[in-house]
């Protein structure tokens, strides 16, 4: 069980870089670097079914994750979340195969644990002594927990109006919490400046190669849970886009390995009405997005006004025949109640947004009720109790 990582590659020009050095964006184009694996060797040496009997965490896919020595893995048991087949929601919507990937059961209550575990483990392997991280809230909570476990200096930067749960979980884990007047892009600028000043590594999403690798494991796990089959569509609440980008990359790797066959699922990106740069770019046929001015939504994870990796999100949506749509905060909050009362899953507003998106796309006949669809509930509603009245 060791990584088959071979090198890093610039997602714009394809230039290669070694993976045994600390590196953020690609020095050539200043864009996203992807981890690449020796898939030919992996395909010859590993049988996909041998993974199934391993412990139920994302590290079951260690060969397709970036860490060489298992001793460097910083884990709290992330991944291994259930793919729940819905009964009541499916019935209500006239569907037969509607699933929810319940990421709220991860350590720190969101899918962020996966990306942070991968990136901090690799940072330990590369001997960093500390890191900075800008975050809408949930990634900061995860960073604080994994940073504490790794014994690393952890400085997080989040908007001053981020959810109280995120501030408290950061403080209780002993991380240095910096509240920023502004949004995640403003937090990002401060995190980079402090990292430079103090010689720390900046773990901004997609500005280092490994958080996307951890998020990729959501997709690997989902297809394994479906008997190594892909669904027809995946509906994902999109902020910075790491989840979509990671899963799209992961499915390409599984296809190249021959571990799965067929077409990638349609990637459907759901954003908030008050912050929808990807929806606008998709509708305009643009390859990149423009800054969404005065971004506002109660789904803090979707308040990313100008995603750094917009070109990769748009590629995943277009190449798979997917789409992008926006929903209102009121609809999301209504869907928190609806998902919880129909299936017993209490979602974050971001996760609830996927149910709203599904309903709109069924109405518009973009999706057919006979298609198999997976909604990603990226976080637990317990982190957003102030959105629930009474």
Ligand X SMILES: Cc1ncc(COP(=O)(O)O)c(C=O)c1O
Beta carbon of residue 215, minimum distance to ligand X (angstroms, whole number): 6
How many angstroms separate the most distant Cα atoms in the chain? 57
d(CA 105, CA 107): 7
Beta carbon of residue 180, minimum distance to ligand X (angstroms, whole number): 15
* Options 142-150, 173-181, 238-246, 321-329: segment touching ligand X (CB under 6 A): 238-246
Q: What are phi and psi of 181, to 5 degrees?
A: -80, 100
* Options 76-84, 224-232, 236-244, 249-257: segment touching ligand X (CB under 6 A): 236-244
* Options 5-13, 16-24, 133-141, 337-345: segment touching ligand X (CB under 6 A): 133-141
Taking CB under 6 A as the criterion, the residue among 147, 241, 265, 357 binding ligand X is: 241
Nearest one of 278, 305, 300 to 289, comparing CA atoms: 278
Site residues (CB under 6 A) for ligand X, limited to 248-307: 301
Number of residues assigned to the chain = 390
CA 318 to each of CA 15, 42, 62, 272, 373: distance values in angstroms, whole numbers, following the listed order: 24, 29, 29, 20, 18
Nearest one of 168, 204, 167 to 189, comparing CA atoms: 204
* Options 131-139, 188-196, 272-280, 317-325: segment touching ligand X (CB under 6 A): 131-139
Residue nearest to ligand X (CB): 301
DSSP calls for 50-73: GGTTS-SSGGGGGGGSS-S-GGG-
Site residues (CB under 6 A) for ligand X, limited to 168-207: 205
Beta carbon of residue 139, minimum distance to ligand X (angstroms, whole number): 6
**Residue among 316 and 361 whose Cβ is closer to ligand X:** 316
**Residue among 25 and 39 whose Cβ is closer to ligand X:** 25
Beta bridge partners of 233: 266, 373
**Residue among 39 and 345 whose Cβ is closer to ligand X:** 345
H/E segment holding residue 267: strand 266-272
Site residues (CB under 6 A) for ligand X, limited to 138-167: 138-139
CA atoms within a 13 Å half-sphere pointing along the CA-CB vector of 140 = 35
Q: What residues contact 151, with CB distance under 8 A and at least 6 apart? A: none
Taking CB under 6 A as the criterion, the residue among 81, 238, 289, 323 binding ligand X is: 238
Is residue 239 part of the contact set for ligand X (CB under 6 A)? yes
d(CA 170, CA 173): 5
Taking CB under 6 A as the criterion, the residue among 24, 159, 243, 305 binding ligand X is: 243
Per-residue interface string for the shown chain with ligand X, residues 38-77, x marking contact by CB under 6 A: ----------------------------------------
CA atoms within a 13 Å half-sphere pointing along the CA-CB vector of 77 = 6
Nearest one of 272, 212, 267 to 235, comparing CA atoms: 267
Is residue 136 part of the contact set for ligand X (CB under 6 A)? yes
**Residue among 42 and 309 whose Cβ is closer to ligand X:** 309
Is residue 242 part of the contact set for ligand X (CB under 6 A)? yes
DSSP calls for 149-177: HHT-EEEEEEETTS-HHHHHHHHHTT-EE
**Residue among 230 and 324 whose Cβ is closer to ligand X:** 324
d(CA 288, CA 90): 35
**Residue among 314 and 348 whose Cβ is closer to ligand X:** 348
Edge-to-edge strand list for the sheet holding 176-180: 176-180, 153-159, 130-134, 201-202
**Residue among 19 and 112 whose Cβ is closer to ligand X:** 112
| Interface size with ligand X, residues (CB under 6 A) | 17
**Residue among 141 and 147 whose Cβ is closer to ligand X:** 141
Is residue 107 part of the contact set for ligand X (CB under 6 A)? no
* Options 151-159, 195-203, 241-249, 251-259: segment touching ligand X (CB under 6 A): 241-249
Question: What residues make contact with ligand X under the rule CB under 6 A?
Answer: 110, 136, 138-139, 205, 237-243, 301, 348, 350, 378-379
């Amino acid at each position: 069980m060791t990584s088959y990582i071979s090198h890093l590659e610039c997602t714009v020009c394809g230039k290669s870089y070694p993976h045994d050095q600390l590196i953020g964006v690609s020095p050539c184009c200043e864009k996203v670097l992807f981890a690449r694996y020796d898939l030919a060797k992996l395909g010859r040496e590993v049988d996909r079914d041998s993974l199934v009997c391993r412990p139920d965490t994302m590290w079951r896919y260690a060969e397709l994750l970036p860490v060489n020595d298992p001793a460097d893995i910083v884990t709290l048991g992330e991944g291994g979340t259930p793919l729940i087949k819905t009964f009541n929601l499916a019935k209500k919507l006239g569907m037969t195969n509607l699933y929810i990937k319940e990421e709220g059961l991860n350590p720190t209550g969101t899918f962020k644990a996966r990306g942070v575990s991968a990136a901090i483990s690799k940072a330990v392997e590369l001997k960093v002594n500390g890191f900075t991280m800008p975050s809408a809230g949930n990634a900061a909570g995860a960073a604080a927990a994994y940073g504490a476990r790794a014994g690393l200096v952890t400085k997080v930067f989040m908007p001053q109006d981020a959810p109280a749960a995120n501030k408290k979980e950061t403080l209780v884990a002993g991380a240095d919490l910096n509240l920023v007047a502004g949004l995640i892009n403003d937090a990002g600028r401060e995190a980079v400046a402090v990292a430079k000043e103090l010689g720390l590594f900046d773990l901004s999403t997609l500005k280092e190669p490994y958080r996307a690798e951890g998020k990729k494991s959501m997709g690997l796990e989902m297809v394994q849970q479906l008997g190594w089959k892909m669904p027809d569509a995946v509906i994902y609440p999109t902020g910075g886009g790491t989840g979509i980008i990671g899963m799209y990359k992961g499915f390409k790797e599984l296809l190249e390995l021959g571990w799965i066959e067929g077409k990638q699922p349609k990637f459907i990106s759901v954003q908030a009405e008050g912050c929808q740069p990807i929806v606008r770019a998709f509708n305009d046929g643009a390859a990149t997005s423009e800054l969404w001015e005065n971004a506002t939504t109660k789904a803090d994870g979707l308040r990313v006004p100008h995603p750094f990796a917009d070109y990769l999100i748009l590629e995943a949506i277009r190449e798979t025949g997917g789409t992008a749509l926006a929903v209102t905060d009121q609809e999301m909050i209504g869907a928190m109640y609806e998902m919880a009362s129909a299936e017993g899953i209490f979602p974050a507003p971001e996760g609830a947004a996927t149910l709203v998106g599904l309903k709109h796309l069924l109405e518009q006949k973009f999706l057919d009720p006979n298609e198999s669809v997976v909604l990603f509930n990226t976080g637990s509603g317990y982190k957003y109790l102030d959105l629930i009245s009474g």
